[in-house]
Amino acid sequence: MAEASSHSVPPYGPAIHQAIGSGDLDRMRKLAESAEKWLSEHGDVSAALEVLKAEIARREAAKS
């Protein structure tokens, strides 16, 4: 997990809701493709977030 961050924005959340709301099928397809590619390159962010939260808790406990 010591990789440099590319600061890329994951294509989900507001972008997905906006694409759905637009009704533009081509836009939705492109975003779905982009999201699949992002997930294959970066993995599941929720799993990484849990690791991050655990590390935060560990370091906060070590401070006290």
Domain that holds residue 55: 14-63
Q: Is residue 54 part of a domain?
A: yes
Q: Is residue 1 part of a domain?
A: no
- Looking at residue 1, its pLDDT comes to 42
Q: How far is CA 53 from CA 23, 28, 48, 60, in A?
A: 37, 32, 9, 10
- CA 49 to mean position of chain CA atoms: 9
CB-based contact 61:41 (threshold 8 Å): no
- Sites in the chain below the pLDDT cut of 70: 1-12
Q: What total number of domains does the chain contain?
A: 1
Q: Is residue 4 part of a domain?
A: no
